[in-house]
């Protein structure tokens, strides 16, 4: 059975876990650790501040109120907008758009993502009792804050749900970077995670895999990977980029 089939066949225990109210196995292990950025992930397409930060950004003062059109639940019905304060750092900006009691799992990042411009990427976990988990048991969640034409105004674009494996697989995000995943010359968001089966203890070693998110023109879409998972067990950004380049040469 391949990794994708194994994830899909075991997704139902997530709901049993929520009903019983147990906290034995977290939805996403990344929420409990602060992974460090691999030293070989440098280069023009790297996001050097991707990981290695505390879960929740520290804000020196109370953030300004959220723009009215950005008020939403854990997953909004569509793009919302928010006004960024002059010189507001990514951590402060991200703190104002997170759902109540959600926690970031990496330091919020700001980077160029053509054709969208300079975006702020926020990866996070919602609280264990958030109703969104029942509707969308994603192993991690993400949003991109995208410049919206008017200076200082951004719209919120959600990353697609990552529900396969929820409740069975524990994810720890190790590296966030960009790479041309499909050979069209435009970069995709790449999120490399270390994945462990919940409850296996030391009987099974963790493996790595990389999720790819592409801007489709109207939203982000998860890039389909073939059943043989060509990016499976590649341990760092350099190895992932090399494999992608070889696939499209």
pLDDT at 199 over 50: yes
Reply yes or no on whether the pLDDT at 75 is more than 80.
no
Q: Is the pLDDT of residue 42 over 60?
A: no
Phi-psi region of 53 (alpha: psi -120 to 50; beta: other; left: phi over 0): beta
Average pLDDT over residues 120-124: 97
Reference 51, options 39, 65, 63; nearest CA is 39
Burial bucket for residue 98 (CB in 10 Å: 0-12, 13-18, 19+): buried
- pLDDT grade for 201, boundaries at 50, 70 and 90: low
Residue range 47-52: average pLDDT?
Answer: 46
Helix/strand/coil for 14 = helix
202 band by pLDDT with thresholds 50, 70 and 90: low
Report whether pLDDT(118) > 60: yes
The answer to whether residue 182 scores a pLDDT higher than 50 is: yes
The answer to whether residue 1 scores a pLDDT higher than 70 is no
* pTM of model > 0.95: no
Map tokens 């190895």 to a residue.
239
Q: Tell me what percent of the chain is helix, strand and coil, each rounded to the nearest 5.
A: 20, 25, 55
Average pLDDT over residues 107-135: 92
Report the distance separating Cα 215 and Cα 112, nearest Å. Answer: 13
Domain boundaries, the chain: 3-56+70-248
Q: Give the pLDDT of residue 46.
A: 53
Q: 133 pLDDT band (50/70/90 cuts)?
A: confident
Distance CA 50, CA 40 (A): 13
pLDDT at residue 168 above 90? no
Residue 203's pLDDT is 60
Is pLDDT at 181 greater than 50 in this prediction? yes
pLDDT one-digit tens code per residue, 24-37: 333 333 433 333 33
Summarize pLDDT for 140-153 with one digit per residue, the tens. Answer: 999 999 999 889 99
Q: Contact at 8 Å (CB) between 155 and 81?
A: yes
Residue 234 confidence (pLDDT): 95
Looking at residue 39, its pLDDT comes to 34
Mean pLDDT score across all residues of the chain: 74
Average pLDDT over residues 3-8: 42
């Amino acid at each position: 059975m391949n990794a994708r089939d194994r994830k899909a066949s075991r997704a139902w225990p997530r709901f049993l876990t929520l009903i019983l109210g147990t906290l034995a196995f977290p939805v996403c292990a990344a929420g409990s650790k602060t992974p460090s950025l691999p030293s070989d992930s440098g280069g023009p397409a790297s996001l050097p501040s991707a990981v290695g930060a505390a879960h929740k950004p520290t804000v020196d003062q109370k953030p300004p109120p959220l723009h009215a059109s950005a008020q939403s639940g854990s997953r909004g019905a569509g793009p919302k907008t928010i006004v960024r304060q002059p010189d507001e750092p990514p951590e402060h900006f991200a703190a104002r758009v997170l759902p109540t009691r959600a926690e970031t799992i990496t330091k919020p990042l700001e980077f160029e993502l053509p054709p969208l411009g300079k975006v702020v990427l926020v990866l996070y976990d919602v609280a264990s009792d958030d109703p969104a988990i029942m509707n969308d048991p994603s192993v991690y969640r993400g949003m991109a804050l995208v410049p919206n034409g008017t200076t200082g105004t951004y719209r919120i674009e959600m990353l697609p749900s990552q529900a396969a494996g929820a409740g069975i697989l524990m994810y720890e995000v190790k590296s966030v970077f960009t790479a041309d995943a499909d050979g069209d010359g435009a970069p995709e968001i790449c999120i490399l995670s270390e994945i462990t089966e919940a409850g296996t203890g030391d009987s099974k070693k963790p493996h790595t895999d990389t999720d790819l998110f592409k801007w489709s023109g109207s939203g982000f879409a998860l890039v389909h990977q073939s059943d043989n998972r060509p990016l499976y067990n590649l341990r760092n950004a350099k190895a992932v980029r090399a494999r992608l380049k070889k696939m499209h040469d």
